[in-house]
Amino acid sequence: MDMEKVNSMDFGEFVDVFGNVVERCPLIAAAVWSQRPFSNSEDLEKHFFAFIDALPQSGQEGILRCHPDLAGRELQQGTLTAESRREQRGAGLMSLDAAERLRLAELNAQYRARFGFPFVLAARLSDRAAVPGELARRLQRPPAEELRTALGEVKKIGRLRLADLLGAAGLAGP
Ligand code: GUN
């Protein structure tokens, strides 16, 4: 998809296409649409990230809370978004054995209890063997630092989702 096409989208089409660049936060795409035209994919991405950065802490935590747990109940129930499902499947999180699932559920619960939002990790850049260790490591960090790290993961996820939507040509930009 090229930028000319993106810039020609009406509001509804844009939100349909880019509404899940940030998991379950179509409001961000709705706000970004107003910033068109975009010069290239980096410019488009910049607007998504700037919106996140400009939010007060409560809004940033709200974004994190829109994410499902990795290998959590929504995965079991089949209620994940298509993007999250693909990412979790790619990381092998759909084929955990019962002990691995339990361990992750315990760590996810500890993380949520400590920070008040779910553990977010760019699953496509990780795998089932690495996730529990990374979760246990991040559980130890100071809350302010962890909020920054988690938002960095939201951006990594968003960058990969945008690249999927725009394709290699869109990524290179004109
Ligand atoms: N990493 C990639 N997608 C997701 C998601 O949907 N939830 C969480 N917690 N991490 C992710």
Give residue limits of the domains in the chain: 3-62, 69-160
| Distance separating alpha carbons of residues 48 and 33, to the nearest angstrom | 10
Q: DSSP string spanning 50-83? A: HHHHHS-HHHHHHHHHTSPPTTSHHHHHT-S-HH
Largest Cα–Cα distance of the chain, in whole Å? 50
Say how many Å lie between the CA of residue 76 and the centre of ligand 1: 14
Q: For 128-168, what is each residue's pLDDT tens digit?
A: 999 999 999 999 999 999 999 999 999 999 999 999 999 85
User: pLDDT above 90 covers what percent of the chain?
Assistant: 93
Q: What is the pLDDT of residues 94-103, one digit of tens each?
A: 999 999 999 9
- Give the CATH number of domain 69-160: 1.10.3330.10
Backbone angles phi, psi at 23, to 5 degrees: -50, 120
154 lines ligand 1 (CB under 6 A): no
SS3 content of the chain, % helix, strand, coil (to 5): 70, 0, 30
Q: Which of 6, 15, 32, 67 is catalytic?
A: 67
Distance (Å) of CA 53 to CA 80, 100, 105, 152: 26, 34, 29, 10
